[in-house]
Amino acid sequence: MKKVEAIIKPFKLEEVKSALSAVAVQGMTVTEVQGFGRQKGHKEIYRGAEYVVELVPKIKIEVVVPDQALTRVVETIAKAARTGKIGDGKIFVLPVEEAVRIRTGERGDGAL
């Protein structure tokens, strides 16, 4: 099992979500996050008052998938989240030791 963590542009959430469900990903965790990478923050000015945006709003999607589905899921996210512009985000893949479905006690891939 692998956990895929993707940081994407907020407006790409719907696209990524539907692309993932099209490749049979059952569930995901979505969080509103802020941060920066190469796309640094910036300064906005209104009538002389400065509003500094140090952290850029992003969406974090977390999905845990069986090993054999990993490539497909990563590709799907990368394709759906891409605009070609700066700040498109990143995808991280982490190993997962165990998964338990709390209601039934199922374990491993069956719990996903």
Give the nearest distance from C-beta 22 to other proteins in angstroms: 19
* Given 27, 37, 57, 110, the residue binding other proteins (CB under 8 A): 57
Contact flag: residue 104 with other proteins (CB under 8 A): no
Burial of residue 15, with CB atoms counted within 10 A of its CB: 0-12 exposed, 13-18 middle, 19 or more buried: middle
**What is the CB neighbour count within 10 angstroms for residue 104?**
9
Q: Kindly provide the b/e burial profile for residues 47-63, where b requires at least 16 CB atoms within 10 angstroms of the residue's own CB.
A: eeeeeeeeebebbbbeb
> Rule CB under 8 A: which of 8-37 touch other proteins?
9-11, 13-14, 32-34
Q: Which residues bind other proteins (CB under 8 A)?
A: 9-11, 13-14, 32-34, 39-40, 42, 44, 46-47, 49, 51, 53, 55-57, 83-87
